[in-house]
Amino acid sequence: METDQGHLQILSVCYYISGALGIIGAVSLFAFLGAGREVLDIFAEAARNPQPDHLPGLTWLGNFFTAFFCTLALASLVFAACTIAVGRYLTQHTGYTFCLVVAGVHCLSMPFGTILGVCTFIVLFRPSVRVMFGVDPPPRQPTRPDHSARTNTWPPVDPMSRDPDPSP
């Protein structure tokens, strides 16, 4: 049981680190979003002041950059928040199914996410951890028959076969 608790603690720290790295990645995507907006502004300025070598129709590129990186950054932030939530759920022993789903999605990000996801599956599928999360009931202890009411007479004596007068 202590080993399971230690493994859950290690996984929790790894999920916190992975979530923090995801937030850093999302912030860098917002920086690319700013670059996309700058490209949009450059093309808008070129459209206002047409020149002979201007290529019309490229203003959509700025809009594409903006939409693409905004969507990617928001999805990255949501996944980072889910990853941090899994780190918290692992320490609180709640959200078993949510932890499994996020671990499965982590398996898609090679190589570290795969390692983290597979290790999470290995730990969470242990019977003792399933009991800790409340997924399975605790195992029943084998019951021992109660021998306290029984007398220890061997060989068993039939009361009807006794001689009523034991004197010789």
Q: What is the pLDDT of residues 136-158, one digit of tens each?
A: 888 777 776 655 555 555 666 66
Angle formed by the axes of helices 112-124 and 2-48, nearest 10°: 150
pLDDT over threshold 70, residue 118: yes
CB within 8 Å of 58: residues ≥ 6 apart: 43
Identify which has the larger pLDDT, 139 or 163: 139
pLDDT confidence band for 132 (50 / 70 / 90): very high
Yes or no: say if 73 and 29 are a contact pair by the CB < 8 Å rule. yes
| Mean pLDDT on 96-119 | 94
CA atoms within 13 A on the CB side of 87: 17
Q: Copy the structure tokens of residue 129.
A: 């951890």
Q: How far is the C-alpha of 94 from the C-alpha of 14, rounded, in Å?
A: 17
In 3-state terms the chain splits into helix, strand, coil percentages (rounded to 5) of 65, 0, 35
The pTM score is: 0.71
CB within 8 Å of 25: residues ≥ 6 apart: 76, 80
At 7-57, the pLDDT tens digits run 999 999 999 999 999 999 998 888 877 776 776 677 666 666 666 555 555
Q: Copy the structure tokens of residue 20.
A: 């923090």
Yes or no: say if 120 and 106 are a contact pair by the CB < 8 Å rule. yes
At 52-91, the pLDDT tens digits run 555 555 666 667 777 888 888 899 999 999 999 999 999 9
Q: How far is the C-alpha of 135 from the C-alpha of 95, rounded, in Å?
A: 10
Q: How far is the C-alpha of 132 from the C-alpha of 148, rounded, in Å?
A: 35
